[in-house]
Amino acid sequence: MSYKVSIVIEKDEYGYYAYCPELEGCQTQGDSIEEVIANIKEAIELYLETLPEDERKEYLSKEILTTTLEVQVA
């Protein structure tokens, strides 16, 4: 079965960091965008394999909203 999940990717001085907001603690890192995407996909699949079907549905039914804000700093 396939699912759609949200992921957040951040870049820092060490490379890239990714996590899935729906799945607490599901996170990874990588040296490139391609690597971190492959790593987070694997982490999510492994995480979901450990959950019973009813818990999967509960975790993945969370509504995640994202937006970009422009803020001003004095």
Return the structure tokens found at 2.
């396939």
Contact yes or no for 18/39 (Cβ under 8 A): yes
Residue 1: predicted pLDDT = 76
Give bridge partners of residue 19 from the DSSP assignment: 8, 27
**How far apart are the C-alpha atoms of 30 and 36, rounded to whole Å?**
4
CATH number of 8-60: 3.30.160.250
| Type of residue found at 56 | R
> Where are the domains positioned within the chain?
8-60
Which residue carries 């951040």 as its tokens? 10
Each residue's pLDDT, cut to its tens digit, for the chain (74 residues) gives 788 899 999 999 999 999 999 999 999 999 999 999 999 999 999 999 999 999 998 888 888 888 889 999 98
